[in-house]
């Protein structure tokens, strides 16, 4: 064996099988302990199997034992300490034997579910003897309270406490990104084709990659994950790198509280994402795509996995796709409970089998992304826009939205609203209009949290705010992921703000000092303030904590960890008495 030292703890039969089944081609082979083939390069090439391996160990035994971890690490030639460091990074991996083997219920305690009965649901589960983990937002805010159940020997299920599993989205003929929602069996490729599927792919082949990317730039499409970077520029930079390998990555690690659009895309229109990623691949010269799906999104992952299989069968993935000279392969990776892995460079580290800690930028992913190679990384909503632009042309695309924010946006409406769900609207719709579309506020409006935990609270005076990038910027706000969380005067917003602060404290990766300690100090201070009017000294300290997190953190998590809290303080929401 190589120089790495492993301890003597051994796997049991099931663990050994689970690992052997995954690592069919180990990086280092032993033949009678004499012949060793392999080396550092092969070990590096196999390390991306660490995360799937940990999932298997967790599933087969209900926890990750020292013997199982040791065997997986040795099979992949990953140092045991590093494998432990990776396993202990994720919420969904247990590193101690559970007291009982029953299912583990992760129940969301973030604002929308907390104000919709998650505490009572948790109590009910516990009284029945179930194991419960209080979970961050599970991305099912349209039907709270949300839960995710981990069951030994299975992939787990995302479920809700309610029995209502109906698809909650706004269905109008103006829909673009949602045009196929509810009109097809999501895993039926023929149904997708009947609704216009793979037309964009054919058009893209005819137009050629350069023209496709030009169209994206002309369309003004920007990333929908929160940072609003021009998609055409991103694809162009990757296309400009002559040397491969290059990668396309779909970031479906949607974990921003109040956001569920990407889950609904994956569940209801998986082929559209596959088609758009394939177009990215052939346009920018990438032969391999990866999709990173949040670990708790098991329905989405299984449907997407089925869709990938169908696409391969139909030769729409693989070598010489659809009779063209292009090759494009697609692989799924599932997260394991870490909000930070939605940060693109953390996501790369997570896929590569390292701790999901963000990298310093520059270099940017277009130069050095996944496996250190040029990488296009977009979120599913952004990818779906590409199909619209190719199928309907730039002018038609720009006919919706504003001049500076062309096209449509998906908004996730949740909370005290009559019809929570997924809504599509042209940029520039006002907040008030959007809320009216969703049936209006239940009760009297107190505040709206725009853009998720990393966003900002606005008061009822902002109902005429136009939802576009330029108007949001002008008001020092962000549309973020498109989350719109509505709170009536029944909500105790100081509790909501404390919970948001705890969310960041729990989800900080711990790499940089400002975020690792700042999120803790912010939460402590809010606990001390409670529902009272904050004293000036407290406000000064809160401000300083916000400054260092915003100015000096490595990544967007720390840089936005004070955003919602600061906006709540400014609106005086901490000591607002509820009616």
Partner 1 sequence: MPPQPTEIAVTINGQSVDVAPGTSILDAAKSVGIEIPTLCWASNLTPVNACRLCVVELEGSRTLVPACSRECEQGSVIHTESERVVLNRKMVLEFLDTTNDLTQSAELQELLLRYHADSSRYTEPNQMQDDTKIEDDLFVRAYDRCVLCYKCVEACGDDAQFTFAISMAGRGFDTRVSTEFDTPLPESACVYCGNCVGVCPTNALQFKTEFDLREASDWNPERHNSTQTICSYCGVGCTLELHTQDNKIFKVTSPADHSVTSGHLCIKGRFGWQYVQPPTRRSLSSG
Question: Based on CB atoms, which residue is closest to partner 1, 163 or 242?
Answer: 242
Structure tokens at 373: 């190679």
**Shortest distance, position 279 Cβ to partner 1, whole Å:** 28
**CB closer to partner 1 out of 548 and 571:** 548
Q: Is 551 in the site for partner 1 (CB under 8 A)?
A: yes
Residues between 348 and 407 that touch partner 1 (CB under 8 A): 355, 357, 360
State the CB neighbour count (10 A cutoff) for residue 465: 19
**Closest approach of Cβ 453 to partner 1, in Å?**
15
535 scored as a contact of partner 1 (CB under 8 A): no
**Host H or E run for residue 311:** helix 298-313
Q: Which stretch binds partner 1 (CB under 8 A): 106-114, 158-166, 513-521, 563-571?
A: 513-521
| x-marked contacts with partner 1 along 73-92 as a string, rule CB under 8 A | x-----xxxxxxx--xxx--
Could you say which of 122, 277, 509, 526 contacts partner 1 (CB under 8 A)? 509
Stretch that binds partner 1, among 118-126, 221-229, 429-437, 550-558 (CB under 8 A): 550-558
- Provide the minimum distance between the beta carbon of 533 and partner 1 in the complex, in angstroms, as a whole number: 17
* Closest distance to partner 1 from the beta carbon of 4 (Å): 7
CA-to-CA dists, residue 446 to 115, 414, 415, 568, 574, angstroms:
14, 14, 12, 12, 12
Contact between 238 and 430 (Cβ < 8 Å) = no
Cβ(257)–Cβ(242) below 8 Å? no
Identify which range of 301-309, 414-422, 486-494, 516-524 contacts partner 1 by CB under 8 A: 516-524
Residue 237 sits in the site that holds partner 1 (CB under 8 A): no
Q: How far is CA 10 from CA 6, 14, 52, in A?
A: 10, 12, 20
> Could you tell me the smallest distance in angstroms from the CB atom of residue 282 to partner 1?
25
* Distance, CA of 349 to CA of 347 (rounded, Å): 5
Cα separation, 345 vs 351, whole angstroms: 10
* Beta carbon of residue 285, minimum distance to partner 1 (angstroms, whole number): 18
145 exposed, middle or buried (CB, 10 Å; 0-12, 13-18, 19+)?
A: buried
Q: b/e string for 481-519 if b means 16 or more Cβ within 10 A?
A: bbbbbbbbbebbbbbbbbbbbbbbbebbbebbebbebbb
For residue 159, the cross-strand partners are 147
Q: Measured from the CB of residue 247, what is the shortest distance to partner 1 in angstroms?
A: 22
Yes or no: say if 222 and 230 are a contact pair by the CB < 8 Å rule: yes
Query: Is position 4 an interface residue for partner 1 (rule: CB under 8 A)?
Result: yes
Q: How far is the CB of 550 from partner 1 (least distance, A)?
A: 7
36, 544, 570, 572: which one binds partner 1 (CB under 8 A): 544
Chain-centre distance of CA 527, in angstroms?
Answer: 29
**Residue number, 4 or 159, with CB nearest to partner 1:** 4
Check residue 512 for interaction with partner 1 (CB under 8 A): yes
- 20, 323 Cβ separation under 8 angstroms: no
- Measured between its terminal Cα atoms, the distance across the chain in Å is 68
Q: Which stretch binds partner 1 (CB under 8 A): 168-176, 389-397, 454-462, 552-560?
A: 552-560
- Is the Cβ of residue 121 or residue 504 nearer to partner 1 in the bound state? 504
Could you tell me the smallest distance in angstroms from the CB atom of residue 452 to partner 1?
Answer: 19
Out of 70, 184, 251, 345, name the contact with partner 1 by CB under 8 A: 70
**Cα–Cα distance measured from residue 110 to residue 144, given in angstroms and rounded to the nearest whole number:** 10
What's CA 398's distance to the chain center, in Å? 27
Residue with Cβ nearer partner 1 (10 or 95): 95
Nearer to partner 1, 307 or 574 (CB): 574
Instruction: List the x/- string, 48-67, binding to partner 1 by CB under 8 A.
Output: ------------------x-
Considering only 541, 571, 575, 578, the residue that binds partner 1 (CB under 8 A) is 541
State in angstroms the smallest separation of the CB of 427 from partner 1.
Answer: 23
Kindly state whether residue 516 participates in binding partner 1, applying the rule CB under 8 A: yes
As measured in angstroms, the least distance from the Cβ of 541 to partner 1 is: 6
The answer to the question of residue 506 lying near partner 1 (CB under 8 A) is yes
Q: What is the 3-state secondary structure (H, E, C) of 238-303?
A: HHHCCCCCCEEEEEECCCCCCCCHHHHHHHHCHHHHHHHHHHHHHHHCCCEEEEEECCCCHHHHHH
Distance CA(395)–CA(493), nearest Å, equals 43
What residues have CB less than 8 Å from 537, skipping those under 6 apart?
none
Q: Is 530 in the site for partner 1 (CB under 8 A)?
A: no
| CB 536, min distance to partner 1, A | 12
Look at the block and give the residue holding tokens 């090759």: 327
What angle do the packed helices 50-61 and 13-22 form, to 10 degrees?
A: 150
Fill in the DSSP letter of residue 126.
Answer: H
Name which position in 528, 532, 533, 535 contacts partner 1 (CB under 8 A).
528
Q: How far is the CB of 264 from partner 1 (least distance, A)?
A: 28
Nearer to partner 1, 140 or 511 (CB): 511
State the CB neighbour count (10 A cutoff) for residue 243.
8
Radius of gyration of the chain (CA): 24
Could you tell me the smallest distance in angstroms from the CB atom of residue 13 to partner 1? 21
In angstroms, what is the minimal distance from the CB of 561 to partner 1?
11
Give the binding-site size for partner 1 (rule: CB under 8 A): 54
- Residue 6 lies near partner 1 (rule: CB under 8 A): yes
Q: Which stretch, 4-12, 149-157, 193-201, 270-278, contacts partner 1 (CB under 8 A)?
A: 4-12
Task: Give whichever of 145 and 358 is closer to partner 1, judged by the CB atom.
Answer: 358
Residue 58, token pair as written in the block: 């967790």
Residues whose CB is less than 8 angstroms from the CB of residue 166 and which lie 6 or more positions away in sequence, other chains included: none
Q: Which residues make up the interface to partner 1 (CB under 8 A)? A: 3-7, 66, 69-70, 73, 79-85, 88-90, 95, 338, 355, 357, 360, 505-514, 516-521, 524, 528, 537, 541, 544-545, 547-548, 550-554, 559
């Amino acid at each position: 064996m190589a120089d790495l030292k492993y301890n003597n703890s051994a796997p049991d039969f099931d663990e050994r099988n689970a690992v052997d089944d995954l690592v069919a081609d180990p990086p280092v082979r032993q033949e009678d302990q004499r012949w060793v083939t392999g080396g550092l390069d092969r070990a590096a090439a196999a390390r991306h199997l660490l995360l799937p391996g940990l999932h298997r160990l967790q599933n087969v035994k209900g926890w990750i034992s020292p013997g199982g971890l040791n065997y997986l690490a040795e099979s992949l030639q990953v140092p045991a300490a590093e494998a432990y460091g990776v396993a202990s990074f994720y919420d969904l991996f247990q590193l101690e034997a559970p007291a009982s083997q029953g299912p583990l219920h992760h129940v969301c305690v973030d604002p929308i579910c907390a104000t919709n009965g998650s505490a009572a649901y948790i109590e009910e589960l516990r009284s029945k003897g179930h194991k419960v983990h209080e979970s961050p937002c599970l991305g099912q805010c349209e039907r709270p309270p949300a839960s995710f159940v981990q069951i030994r020997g299975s992939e787990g299920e995302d479920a809700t406490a309610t029995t209502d599993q109906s698809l909650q989205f706004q269905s109008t003929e103006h829909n673009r990104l949602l045009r196929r929602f509810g009109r097809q069996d999501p895993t039926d490729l023929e149904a997708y084709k009947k609704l216009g599927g793979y037309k964009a792919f054919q058009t893209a082949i005819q137009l050629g990659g350069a023209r496709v990317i030009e169209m994206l730039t002309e369309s003004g499409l920007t990333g929908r994950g929160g940072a609003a970077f021009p998609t055409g520029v991103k694809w162009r930079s990757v296309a400009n790198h002559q040397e491969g390998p290059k990668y396309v990555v779909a970031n479906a690690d949607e974990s921003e509280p109040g956001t569920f659009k990407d889950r609904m895309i994956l569940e209801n229109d998986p082929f559209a994402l596959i088609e758009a990623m394939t177009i990215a691949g052939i346009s920018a010269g990438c032969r391999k795509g990866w999709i990173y799906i949040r670990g708790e999104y098991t329905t989405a992952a299984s449907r997407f996995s089925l869709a990938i299989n169908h696409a391969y069968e139909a030769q729409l993935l693989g070598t010489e796709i659809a009779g063209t000279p292009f090759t494009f392969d697609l692989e799924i990776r599932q997260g394991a409970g870490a909000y930070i892995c939605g940060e693109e460079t953390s996501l790369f580290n997570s896929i590569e089998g390292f701790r999901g800690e963000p990298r310093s930028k520059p270099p940017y992913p277009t130069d050095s992304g996944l496996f250190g190679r040029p990488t296009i990384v977009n979120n599913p909503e952004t990818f779906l826009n590409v199909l619209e632009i190719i199928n309907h042309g730039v002018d038609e695309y720009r006919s919706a939205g504003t001049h500076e924010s062309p096209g449509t946006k998906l908004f996730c409406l949740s909370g005290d609203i009559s019809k929570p769900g997924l809504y599509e609207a042209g940029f520039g719709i006002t907040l008030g209009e959007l809320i009216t579309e969703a049936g209006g506020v239940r009760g009297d409006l107190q505040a709206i949290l725009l853009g998720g935990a990393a966003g900002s609270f606005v008061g009822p005076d902002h109902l005429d705010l136009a939802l576009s990038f330029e108007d949001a910027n002008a008001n020092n706000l962000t549309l973020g992921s498109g989350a719109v969380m509505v709170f009536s005067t029944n909500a105790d917003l100081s509790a909501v703000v404390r919970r948001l602060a705890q969310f960041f404290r729990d989800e900080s990766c711990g790499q940089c000092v400002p975020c690792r300690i700042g999120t803790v100090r912010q939460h402590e201070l809010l606990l001390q303030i409670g529902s009272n009017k904050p004293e000036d000294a407290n406000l000064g300290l809160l401000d300083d904590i916000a400054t260092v997190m915003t100015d000096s953190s490595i990544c967007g998590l720390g840089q936005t960890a004070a955003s919602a809290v600061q906006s709540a303080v400014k609106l005086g929401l901490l000591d607002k008495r509820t009616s």
